[in-house]
Structure 1
Amino acid sequence: MARDVQITFSCADPAGLAAFWADALGYRVQGPPEGFQSWDQALEAFGVPPERRNDASAVVDPEGAGPRVFFQRVPEHEQVRNRVHLDLRAAPGLTGEARMAALEAEAGRLVSLGATRVRRHEPAAPLEAGHIVLTDPEGNEFCLD
């Protein structure tokens, strides 16, 4: 039986990281529960104090096909390299210079949103097509592939 998958990030600023990943993935921040016009209105009604209203956030695929990405606030900062990371397929079907140009363009867009460029891996035929490693605004590594 197939299962729905949710990807979860532990972070310091769930709303900020959700906004970054919504733009990066072409997703949207998940809307408030039915009957509420905003999350602030819903959390107020649920009795959540203002200082706890950024404890969680989520982004969803507007088409409903991709997994939900959930962001939860944790007190500690991650100090080790993440063992699981996302690969954003920014140049499917492209090869050589066209592929790397597409990856560079997307890297520039993501850096303007708050990502940090880490390194570029050049194509090395026949198996390595080339990719770019970045980190999101909280330092989680991901690749443009």
Structure 2
Amino acid sequence: MSTPLVLGITVDCFDAQVAAAFWCRALGYVESPPPTGWSDWPSFLRDHDVPEEEWGDGAAITPASGEGPTISFLKVPESKTVKNRVHLDVKVSGGRHIDQGLRESRIREKEADLVAHGARRQREDRVDGHLDHFVMEDPEGNEFCIG
């Protein structure tokens, strides 16, 4: 009998709670529920002898729909030093077949919302003179795109 493959994504960060809150907003995710058998995260952490001072060192979020990968955030001591080799794309435009004005307004609206919540724009990429996507950074400097 084989175990089914489940995709999970883990992001190293300085502040797991801040990173998780930002990505919940960016992706429409919610805080992951505690594992089966525990009514809340403090009970789970206490039962696994995790010292209270470490309770904020990790966080997990999951799609509100229940469909898709869980993303975990883990506190690490080192800071980000180089460009990500893998990044997330926040796809809000609807695709290149959508009216360019509508595509651009969707991209700009999401960019404004995320900038208001700690993101930074690195650059604007255009294709055939039209906005295609923004290259962004989350509050900890991890690159992602909005398109």
Tell me the TM-score normalised to structure 1 length: 0.87
Q: Which of 59, 62, 70 in structure 2 is aligned with 1:60?
A: 62
Task: Give distance in 2, aligned partners of 1:6 and 1:41.
Answer: 23
Structure 1 residue 71 displacement after superposition: 0.9
Give the secondary structure class of the aligned counterpart of 2:144.
strand
Q: Cα deviations across residues 67-109 of structure 1 (Å, max 9, x unaligned)?
A: 1111111110110000100111111132422211110001011
Task: Give distance in 2, aligned partners of 1:71 and 1:40.
Answer: 17
> Residue in 2 aligned with 1:19?
21
> Residue in 2 aligned with 1:75?
77
> Residue in 1 aligned with 2:42?
40
Deviates more, 1:37-46 or 1:109-118: 37-46
Q: Which of 89, 103, 111 in structure 1 is aligned with 2:107?
A: 103
> Residue in 2 aligned with 1:28?
30
Give the secondary structure class of the aligned counterpart of 1:109.
helix
Alignment CA distance shift 1:36-1:4 (3 Å) = closer
What is the RMSD computed on CA atoms of the aligned residues? 2.1
Letter in 2 for 1:73: K
Give the structure with the higher percent strand: 2
Q: Cα deviations across residues 45-74 of structure 1 (Å, max 9, x unaligned)?
A: 432212211221111112221111111111
Letter in 2 for 1:83: R
Identity %: 38
Aligned ranges 1:77-92 → 2 under 5 Å = 77-92=79-94
Deviates more, 1:82-91 or 1:26-35: 26-35
> Residue in 2 aligned with 1:112?
116
Contact 1:95–1:129 (Cα < 8 Å) also in 2:
no
Alignment CA distance shift 1:106-1:70 (3 Å) = same
* Count of equivalent residues: 143
Task: Give distance in 1, aligned partners of 2:37 and 2:44.
Answer: 8
